[in-house]
């Protein structure tokens, strides 16, 4: 590994200035921000990331959760996953986010991991993490070892012939169901990107995972105000009960009136190349009566375009059952 220079950012403009020198904010960037370090340091040890400069952003004033006057919730990019999960407003009004965060990693990791770092965590595809293997995401044009290889845990939605890696985050699935907005500050100023437009499917550029440009710093995430008593569930199915990534997960945000679903958001994890919002499932549910047959029809719609690989065909039915059960749990809530 090359030696890297370590810089402590004194303020947001200084942090951006340091990172704007990077050739790209994506895979292989020469300058990297470091927050909790639980993704970046792992990848540096594996030789997958080799930045020449690491900019420590931990002292920036981005560690607060605040309710805004218009009812939105503003979450600083440096809020630790454990603090966010246990924040009183998040626990009560955005419980799907709390549930998703607490289903991820371990208590120690959640104490370090940040909101911005979790958004940008990298795939757990074993070939991406092994620099002896061909991987288009790590080294564009080198090929994809997973398509003909061990792909049991990989994606069935949003894949391409060049990459089938899943986005591994639990938090991102909840943020997608909550229709979060990502606030970015970069060399050209500030901008806001709805989470549905933030992540990119791999296509023929799997090394580019999101819309960030060189020097862009995620500063905040905002969540819209929700109606009181909205029903929220995050259901995560995995090989073991803790310290494991999702094979399939579902985040549900719903409102029921007169026995019918008058508002519903469905997002999936563990099956998509990005946190996967299912507009097809939402359409199949909107205005319909709360019953298992409707839920199953929505699940069928969500997985309609699934393209399983040699070892992950089981995920199609697993994801359907995950959606059906998550909807049942959500709508059973008092
Ligand atoms: C053993 C293990 C098990 C895990 N299990 C799970 C799990 O079950 N579910 C799950 O969801 N996650 C899991 N994780 C992943 C964990 O949630 C992430 O590693 C963590 O959220 C990353 O946050 P961080 O602050 O440590 O990121 P860092 O490692 O500091 O940064 C990650 C990336 O984001 C960039 N970055 C960080 N902050 C910003 C910012 N504000 N603006 C722009 N760029 C930024 C960095 O440059 C880097 O490229 C696991 C991790 C480990 C090691
Ligand atoms: S699935 Fe994507 S990350 Fe995994 S080996 Fe193929 S190109 Fe690399």
Query: 334 vs 49, which has greater pLDDT?
Result: 49
Residue that is written with structure tokens 């991987």 in the block: 135
Edge-to-edge strands of the sheet including 276-277? Answer: 231-237, 248-257, 260-269, 276-277
Residue with CA closest to ligand 2 atom 8:
135
Q: 109 C-alpha to center of ligand 1: Å?
A: 9
Question: Does 101 sit in the ligand 2 pocket, CB within 6 Å?
Answer: no
Residues in the chain: 334
Summarised one tens digit per residue, pLDDT across range 31-57 is 899 999 999 999 999 999 999 999 999
Q: Name the residue of 120, 182, 191 whose CB sits within 8 Å of the most ligand 1 atoms, as the mutation to test its pocket.
A: 120
Shortest-distance atom of ligand 2 to CA 135: 8
Question: Does 176 sit in the ligand 2 pocket, CB within 6 Å?
Answer: no
Mean pLDDT of 256-265: 96
Residue with CA closest to ligand 1 atom 48:
40
Q: Name the residue of 16, 98, 105, 240 whose CB sits within 8 Å of the most ligand 1 atoms, as the mutation to test its pocket.
A: 105
The share of the chain scoring above pLDDT 90, in percent, equals 87
Residue with CA closest to ligand 1 atom 5:
105
Q: 300 C-alpha to center of ligand 1: Å?
A: 32
- The predicted pLDDT at position 9 comes to 84
Q: 149 C-alpha to center of ligand 2: Å?
A: 10
Summarised one tens digit per residue, pLDDT across range 5-29 is 878 888 888 888 877 777 667 788 8
pTM for the full predicted model: 0.97
Beta bridge partners of 5: 53
Mean pLDDT of 181-204: 97
Question: Does 127 sit in the ligand 2 pocket, CB within 6 Å?
Answer: yes
Q: 135 C-alpha to center of ligand 2: Å?
A: 5
pLDDT band at 1 (very low <50, low <70, confident <90, very high): very low
Is the separation of the CB atoms in 246 and 238 below 8 Å? Answer: yes
The CA distance from 15 to 56, in Å, is: 8
Question: 90: exposed, middle or buried (C-beta count within 10 Å: 0-12, 13-18, 19+)?
Answer: buried
């Amino acid at each position: 590994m090359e030696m890297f220079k370590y810089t402590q950012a004194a303020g947001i403009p200084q942090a951006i200035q340091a990172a704007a020198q990077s050739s790209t904010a994506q895979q292989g960037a020469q300058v990297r921000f470091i927050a909790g370090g639980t993704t970046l340091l792992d990848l540096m040890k594996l030789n997958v990331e080799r930045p020449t400069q690491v900019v420590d952003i931990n002292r920036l004033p981005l560690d607060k959760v605040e309710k805004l006057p218009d009812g939105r919730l503003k979450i600083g990019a440096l809020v630790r996953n454990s603090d966010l999960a246990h924040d009183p407003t998040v626990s009560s009004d955005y419980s799907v986010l709390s549930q998703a965060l607490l289903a991820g990693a371990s208590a120690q990791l959640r104490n370090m991991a940040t909101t911005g770092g979790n958004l940008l965590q990298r795939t757990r595809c074993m070939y991406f993490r092994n620099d002896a293997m061909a991987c288009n995401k790590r080294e564009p044009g080198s090929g994809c070892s997973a398509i003909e290889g061990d792909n049991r845990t990989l994606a069935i939605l949003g894949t391409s012939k060049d990459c089938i890696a899943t986005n591994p985050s639990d938090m991102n699935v909840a943020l997608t169901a909550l229709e979060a907005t990502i606030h970015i500050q970069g060399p050209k100023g500030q901008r806001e990107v709805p989470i549905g437009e933030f992540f990119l499917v791999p296509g023929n550029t799997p090394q580019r995972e999101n819309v960030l440009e060189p020097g862009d710093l995620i500063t905040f995430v905002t969540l819209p105000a929700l109606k009181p008593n909205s029903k929220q569930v995050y259901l995560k199915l995995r090989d073991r009960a803790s310290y494991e990534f999702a094979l399939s997960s579902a985040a549900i945000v719903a409102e029921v009136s007169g026995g019918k679903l008058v508002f519903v958001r469905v997002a999936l994890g563990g099956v998509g190349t990005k946190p996967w919002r299912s507009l097809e499932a939402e359409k199949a549910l909107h205005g319909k009566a709360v019953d298992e047959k409707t839920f199953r029809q929505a699940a069928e719609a969500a997985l309609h375009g699934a393209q399983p690989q040699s070892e992950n065909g089981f995920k199609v039915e697993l994801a359907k059952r995950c959606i059906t059960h998550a909807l049942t749990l959500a709508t059973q809530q008092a």
